[in-house]
Protein backbone atom coordinates (compact mmCIF):
# COMPACT_ATOMS: atom_id res chain seq x y z
CA UNK A 1 0.00 0.00 0.00
CA UNK A 2 1.34 3.42 -0.90
CA UNK A 3 0.42 6.66 0.81
CA UNK A 4 1.11 10.12 -0.60
CA UNK A 5 4.63 11.55 -0.67
CA UNK A 6 6.18 8.15 -1.43
CA UNK A 7 5.62 6.69 2.06
CA UNK A 8 4.77 3.00 2.21
CA UNK A 9 2.52 1.48 4.87
CA UNK A 10 2.68 -2.26 5.40
CA UNK A 11 -0.60 -4.13 4.97
CA UNK A 12 -1.46 -5.80 8.32
CA UNK A 13 -4.57 -7.72 7.28
CA UNK A 14 -4.18 -11.44 6.77
CA UNK A 15 -7.16 -11.54 4.40
CA UNK A 16 -9.01 -8.90 2.39
CA UNK A 17 -12.14 -7.28 3.81
CA UNK A 18 -15.49 -7.43 2.06
CA UNK A 19 -18.30 -4.90 2.44
CA UNK A 20 -21.59 -6.03 4.02
CA UNK A 21 -25.11 -5.19 2.81
CA UNK A 22 -27.10 -2.83 5.02
CA UNK A 23 -29.82 -5.42 5.70
CA UNK A 24 -27.47 -7.72 7.64
CA UNK A 25 -28.23 -7.34 11.34
CA UNK A 26 -25.53 -7.91 13.95
CA UNK A 27 -25.40 -7.73 17.73
CA UNK A 28 -22.43 -6.89 19.92
CA UNK A 29 -22.93 -8.16 23.47
CA UNK A 30 -21.05 -6.07 25.99
CA UNK A 31 -20.63 -6.64 29.69
CA UNK A 32 -20.88 -3.81 32.14
CA UNK A 33 -21.38 -3.59 35.85
CA UNK A 34 -24.62 -2.09 37.08
CA UNK A 35 -25.95 -1.12 40.46
CA UNK A 36 -29.52 -2.09 41.22
CA UNK A 37 -31.16 1.03 42.70
CA UNK A 38 -34.71 -0.29 43.06
CA UNK A 39 -36.75 -3.21 41.81
CA UNK A 40 -40.38 -4.30 41.39
CA UNK A 41 -42.17 -7.27 39.82
CA UNK A 42 -42.15 -5.53 36.44
CA UNK A 43 -38.81 -3.72 36.23
CA UNK A 44 -35.87 -2.01 37.85
CA UNK A 45 -33.92 1.22 38.09
CA UNK A 46 -30.25 0.65 37.30
CA UNK A 47 -27.06 2.70 37.44
CA UNK A 48 -24.76 1.45 34.68
CA UNK A 49 -21.16 2.15 33.69
CA UNK A 50 -22.15 2.11 30.00
CA UNK A 51 -24.99 4.09 28.47
CA UNK A 52 -27.66 1.85 26.94
CA UNK A 53 -30.03 3.56 24.50
CA UNK A 54 -33.77 3.64 25.11
CA UNK A 55 -35.19 0.55 23.42
CA UNK A 56 -31.95 -1.37 23.96
CA UNK A 57 -32.13 -4.89 25.36
CA UNK A 58 -29.85 -6.60 27.84
CA UNK A 59 -29.65 -9.51 30.24
CA UNK A 60 -29.49 -8.67 33.94
CA UNK A 61 -27.91 -11.16 36.34
CA UNK A 62 -27.80 -10.69 40.08
CA UNK A 63 -28.14 -12.36 43.41
CA UNK A 64 -31.30 -11.39 45.26
CA UNK A 65 -30.93 -12.43 48.86
CA UNK A 66 -29.54 -15.96 48.69
CA UNK A 67 -30.99 -16.81 45.26
CA UNK A 68 -29.75 -16.28 41.72
CA UNK A 69 -31.77 -13.95 39.53
CA UNK A 70 -31.61 -13.59 35.74
CA UNK A 71 -33.94 -11.69 33.43
CA UNK A 72 -34.00 -10.06 30.03
CA UNK A 73 -34.69 -6.33 30.21
CA UNK A 74 -35.51 -3.53 27.82
CA UNK A 75 -34.47 0.03 28.61
CA UNK A 76 -37.53 2.29 28.60
CA UNK A 77 -36.03 5.56 29.78
CA UNK A 78 -32.85 7.37 30.70
CA UNK A 79 -32.86 8.69 34.26
CA UNK A 80 -30.85 11.56 35.76
CA UNK A 81 -28.92 10.42 38.82
CA UNK A 82 -27.55 12.56 41.64
CA UNK A 83 -25.21 15.40 40.69
CA UNK A 84 -21.63 14.21 40.38
CA UNK A 85 -22.57 10.56 39.76
CA UNK A 86 -20.81 9.36 36.61
CA UNK A 87 -23.06 6.32 36.11
CA UNK A 88 -25.96 6.22 33.64
CA UNK A 89 -29.46 5.87 35.10
CA UNK A 90 -31.66 3.39 33.24
CA UNK A 91 -35.32 2.59 33.80
CA UNK A 92 -35.85 -0.96 32.51
CA UNK A 93 -38.74 -3.41 32.27
CA UNK A 94 -38.43 -7.17 32.55
CA UNK A 95 -39.27 -8.79 29.24
CA UNK A 96 -38.73 -12.45 30.18
CA UNK A 97 -37.45 -14.56 33.05
CA UNK A 98 -37.58 -18.21 34.04
CA UNK A 99 -39.82 -19.48 36.84
CA UNK A 100 -36.90 -19.84 39.28
CA UNK A 101 -35.94 -16.18 38.83
CA UNK A 102 -39.57 -15.08 39.18
CA UNK A 103 -39.85 -16.96 42.51
CA UNK A 104 -36.53 -15.47 43.64
CA UNK A 105 -37.80 -11.96 42.83
CA UNK A 106 -41.15 -12.53 44.54
CA UNK A 107 -39.44 -13.89 47.68
CA UNK A 108 -37.01 -10.96 47.73
CA UNK A 109 -39.79 -8.38 47.38
CA UNK A 110 -41.92 -10.05 50.05
CA UNK A 111 -39.04 -10.11 52.57
CA UNK A 112 -37.96 -6.54 51.71
CA UNK A 113 -41.47 -5.16 52.32
CA UNK A 114 -41.82 -6.74 55.81
The structural domains of the chain, ordered by start, are: 33-112 (2.40.10.220)
pLDDT tier at 71 (50, 70, 90 boundaries)?
A: very high
The span from the CA of 96 to the CA of 99, in Å, is 10
Q: Answer yes or no: are the C-beta atoms of 51 and 92 closer than 8 Å.
A: no
Q: What is the pLDDT of residue 90?
A: 96
Q: Of 28, 35, 82, 23, which is closest to residue 53 (Cα–Cα)?
A: 28
Alpha helices in the chain (DSSP H): 99-112
Q: For residue 16, what pLDDT is reported?
A: 83
The sheet with strand 43-48 has its strands ordered as 34-39, 43-48, 88-97, 67-79, 57-64
The pLDDT, as a whole number, for residue 6 is 59
Mean per-residue pLDDT, 23-46:
89
In sequence order, the β-bridge partners of residue 58 are: 73
Residue range 85-102: mean pLDDT, rounded = 95
The pTM for the full model equals 0.74
Amino acid sequence: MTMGMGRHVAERRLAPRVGIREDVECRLNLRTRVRLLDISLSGALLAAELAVPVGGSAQLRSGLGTSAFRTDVQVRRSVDLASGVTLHGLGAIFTSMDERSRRSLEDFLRKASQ
